Amino acid sequence: MALKIWLDDKLVDEQDAKVSVFDHGLLYGDGVFEGIRVYLGKVFEEKAHIDRLYESAKAIRLEIPMTKDQMTDAIRTTVKANGLQEGYIRLVVTRGIGTLGLNPFTCKKAGVIIIASNIQLYPKEFYEKGMKVISATTIRNHPLSLPPQIKSLNYLNNISAKIEALDANVPEAIMYNHMGYVAEATGDNIFIVKNGVVSTPPVSSGSLGGITRAVVMKLGIQNGFEIIEKNLTRFDLYTADEFFLTGSAAEVIGIVAIDGRTIGDGKPGPVTEKLRKLFFAYARS
């Protein structure tokens, strides 16, 4: 069955979901987006995702032509139209149609695209046995260049690091900031466990304020784990007892090696597994 795509103000068939070649989202990566999960037909952390979308848009002076309530209704309508029970939503707001030039104010109205479909970022065996990663040589964008809290359509920084990972025959790369501290993976947030303490880089290190990250931190604290935000170094990753990533698509996934160094006993650790189970129970509650 062909997908139904929300385009601007209505649902259209997949083959009719088209954008102009003059859209600045295409020409310059000028726009913002959210990746959102659906569990049991329910949009996961819906308000948090919509709030983050509008904050990203405000930061780049992009006016979304819908209220938050209208956006919520459009998301739910798209999910329902595609009969989605378990899956993924890609919510995109582009600057809209403009001229061949950088001036964003030639774009009269932003474009809205909502795709509700299926996704499996990593094979099932990675969740059971863990995943290997490398350190990228591509550093995270400087925060004065592009604040990491903006989830923009321009992902070349992350894509460059992803290419490094794929060239090394691993699925993911760890990115560091201009000061050498751990920022994030190419699409996920980072956590490590050392001596029972769970640590994650602060947003100021160059990471996105992840929705899944926030949920995992909340669940962990509620269940007695000590979770802190602090700057991490490559040494901290190399010597961690456990290491895992979180993200809307990845959910919670254990890392068992980085740059050829084995993490712990080479299997997803007990804290990782506990937090993963807590997350899945919460997501489907």
* 81-135 confidence digits (pLDDT tens): 999 999 999 999 999 999 999 999 999 999 999 999 988 778 889 999 999 999 9
| Whether 182 contacts 237, CB under 8 Å | yes
Which residues are the active-site residues? 151
100 lies in the same domain as 143: no
Last residue of a domain, one of 117, 138, 167: 117
Q: What pLDDT shows up at residue 2?
A: 85
Q: What pLDDT shows up at residue 1?
A: 72
Last residue of a domain, one of 117, 149, 166: 117
For the chain (length 285 residues), average pLDDT per consecutive 10? 93 96 98 97 97 97 98 98 96 98 97 93 90 97 90 96 98 97 97 98 92 98 98 98 96 97 97 97 94
258 pairs with which residues across the strands? Answer: 133, 261
206 lies in the same domain as 133: yes
Last residue of a domain, one of 63, 90, 117: 117
Q: What pLDDT shows up at residue 276?
A: 97
How many Å separate Cα 56 from the centre of its chain? 13
Cβ neighbours of 84 (radius 10 Å):
18
Give 250-275 pLDDT, tens digit per residue. Answer: 999 999 999 999 999 999 999 999 99
Enclosing domain of residue 254: 124-283
190 token code pair: 């980072």
CATH number at residue 257: 3.20.10.10
Distances (CA, A) of 167 to 162, 164, 189, 220, 245: 9, 5, 21, 35, 20
| Whether 174 contacts 134, CB under 8 Å | yes
CATH number at residue 31: 3.30.470.10
Which 3 state secondary structure label does DSSP give 115?
Answer: strand
175 lies in the same domain as 192: yes
Q: What span, in angstroms and rounded, lies between the C-alpha atoms of 5 and 77?
A: 10
Task: Report the domain count for the chain.
Answer: 2
225 lies in the same domain as 261: yes
